[in-house]
Chains A and B, each alone.
Chain A
Amino acid sequence: MAKLTEKARLTAFLGGMCLFLSAIEYLLPRPVPFMRLGLANLPVLLALGLLPFPYVMLLVLLKILGQGLISGTLASYVFLFSAAGSYTSALVMSAFNRIPRRYMSLIGVSVLGALAGNLVQLTLSVYFIFGPSASVIAPVFLTIGTVSSFLIGLFAEKFRDGSRWYASLGGL
């Protein structure tokens, strides 16, 4: 393998974490097939404070490719849904992460990112799959997304504050 810069190496490392968490999530039973907990968003949340914006976008690409490979959806609509939702979410999270920590925690960043990503996915599902009746599932979809993103944000916040590994990367 060719040598990577430190930032590229960390991006690949976080990509490996995304893949690992995607695999864990794939094994968990889901009440409804199209609903995800979004565990793989955890490395993206952590990356916001470690990597420059273009690398965060690259990590999102690695995350959705990895999810597509693991769940077998790389050649399907799911992949496009995932890409649209993940990129929207990452853009919103990057924007809100610029607000100082005392006003905006990682929980807030995570919830706002998930809401934006889920809204884009709902809009796409209205136009391409379910039709206008997709609005019926909107409340459940958004509630699950909000609750799971709150929990992932909470974990990310605690991990960021307690992790020696995270602290060791501060000077990157």
Chain B
Amino acid sequence: MKKDRIALVLSPGIRFIGGMALMLAFLFSDSLIYRLAFIPLLLTLVPLGGKRILWKNYLVLIFFITFFNLLNPWGEVLLSLGPLAITKGALTSGLLKGITFTGLILISLVSISRGLNFPGRLGGMIGRVFYYFERIFEQKHRIRKEDLIGTLDEILMEIYSESDPD
């Protein structure tokens, strides 16, 4: 796992608020160039935050969004590839949606970090969810393919019968 360098200078709460501000700035204009300009910054921040950039996934995502938008042509025809006409309007719209979609995922990766506590009763419950998640995760090596139900049942029985964490 990569080292989270942002955590050295920002608390999880401030980081989350900063991420939300970055999201508002990202969505401020509908211009493709404007949103594209944020991408290098986000691609720098994500690894600094200790997260991995799934290049292939994001590129495939942008490709698919753009491709499906191209199937609905509008505006000036830039190129014709057999039955498919690549139009300026559809291409710009598809790329804008793809970049926006990817940008928001990157912002989410930058904003969320370990130790982020949500306030209130729901926040307390989320804390408990993470506790149980970690307890189940610790026991995952005991899960056997040949007796999936039996081993999983044993783990759940064991963890659930433990006293409620304080």
Contact = CB atoms under 8 A, between A and B. Distances in A.
Nearest to B159: A13
Contacts of A20: 133, 136-137, 140
Interface in B111-156: 111-112, 122, 124-137, 140, 149-150, 152-153, 156
Contacts of B157: 164-165, 168
Contact of B69 (A8, A17, A76, A133): A133
Contact of B128 (A9, A18, A61, A73): A9
A68 interface: yes
Given A1-B124, A12-B132, A131-B72, A73 B105 contact: yes
Contact of A159 (B71, B97, B149): B149
Contact of A65 (B97, B107, B126): B126
Among A10, A11, A130, A162, the most chain B Cβ lie within 10 Å of the Cβ of A130
A1 B127 contact: yes
Contacts of B133: 15-17, 19-20, 23, 66
A164 to B, nearest CB: 6
Interface string A48-83: 000000000010011001101100111111110000
A131 B69 contact: yes
A66 B137 CA distance: 14
Contacts of B107: 75-76
A130 B137 contact: no
Contact of A129 (B57, B65, B134, B150): B65
Contacts of A98: none
Given A15-B132, A68-B108, A163-B149, A23 B71 contact: no
Interface residues of B, number: 50
Interface string B36-76: 00000000000000010000010011001100110110000
Interface residues of A, number: 52
Among A20, A62, A158, the most chain B Cβ lie within 10 Å of the Cβ of A20
Contacts of A166: 153
A155 B100 CA distance: 37
A78 B105 contact: yes
Nearest to A63: B129
A58 B125 CA distance: 10
Among B23, B124, B129, the most chain A Cβ lie within 10 Å of the Cβ of B129
Contacts of B153: 159, 162-166
Given A4-B128, A76-B105, 6 more contacts: A16-B132, A19-B129, A33-B60, A34-B61, A58-B125, A76-B101
5 contacts: A20-B137, A69-B112, A75-B107, A159-B149, A159-B152
Interface of B: 19-20, 23, 51, 57, 60-61, 64-65, 68-69, 71-72, 97, 100-101, 104-105, 107-109, 111-112, 122, 124-137, 140, 149-150, 152-153, 156-157, 159-160, 164-166
The list of the 9 closest CB pairs from A to B, nearest first, reads A16-B132, A76-B104, A133-B71, A15-B129, A12-B128, A72-B109, A75-B108, A19-B133, A130-B68
